[in-house]
Amino acid sequence: MRLPAANWIDRLGRCLACAGLALLPLVASGATEEDPWEGFNRAIFTFNDTLDTYAMKPLAQGYQKVTPQFLEDGVHNVFSNVGDVGNLVNDLLQGKFHAAGVDASRLLFNTTFGLLGFFDVATKMGLDRNDEDFGQTLGAWGVGSGPYLVLPFFGPSTLRDAPARIPDGYLGPYPYIDHVPTRNVTFAVDAIDTRANLLSAEKLISGDKYVFIRNVYLQNREFKVKNGEVEDDF
């Protein structure tokens, strides 16, 4: 029976929905059209950044220090392989059938020949990984991103992308792992692995960290939703 795990996802969804409703009346001085809740967002950003500074970043640094590179790469590949399930489903929802074929092939080859994804044999075969999620699917269906929104623990998002995490959550492994300790350990390793892969990108941050991350996130999301077709302003 998988009800407890499903309830965990449902509670997360309700929390995100309530957070969105609570934000509606908030107006920050100096807020921009894309970020009308900047005051609230900065407060959540500060909370997340503090948590990262004193917990996630040290854990990620320690993980990289004690984990052999081949093992770190393998763990990252396993989680990426699991993520290809969500890529495949969102490919189909967006009508990207060629991309769906590629991601289905990646799942097949990496899960079998790649030993559950530990080795990324598909990329070496020329099957490059796609990166799709339900937020992008909503964007492809014509749903606007809405205001920028910083979520506790999860970080940068938008009013469209935040609730889109709920269906994406059901495409991951966690709702289907009944053993709570196993689920918690897997989730923790996934989070630390994700943070470790961002360590090298920190040197690129300049100026106001909040503004830098916001702009990069929004530009990256627009780029992905439009499949790399960026409008020329000139």
pLDDT tens by residue, 66-77: 999 999 999 999
Q: What is the pLDDT of residue 14?
A: 54
* C-beta of residue 200 within 8 angstroms of C-beta of residue 57: no
pLDDT at 15: 54
Q: Quick: pLDDT tens for 18-30.
A: 544 454 444 444 5
**Tens of each residue's pLDDT in the chain, 234 residues:** 444 444 544 555 555 545 444 544 444 445 578 999 999 999 999 999 999 999 999 999 999 999 999 999 999 999 999 999 999 999 999 999 999 999 999 999 999 999 999 999 999 999 999 999 999 999 999 999 999 999 999 999 999 999 999 999 999 999 999 999 999 999 999 999 999 999 999 989 999 999 999 999 999 999 999 988 765 543
What local confidence, expressed as pLDDT, does residue 90 receive?
98
Show me where the domains of the chain are located: 3-225
Give the integer Cα–Cα distance in Å for 103 and 122.
9
Q: How far apart are CA 137 and CA 224, in angstroms?
A: 10
Query: Which spans in the chain are helix H?
Result: 3-23, 38-51, 57-66, 69-93, 97-112, 121-124, 134-140, 161-170, 180-196, 209-225
pLDDT for position 101: 98
Cβ of 149: how many Cβ atoms within 10 Å? 24
pLDDT of residue 24: 47
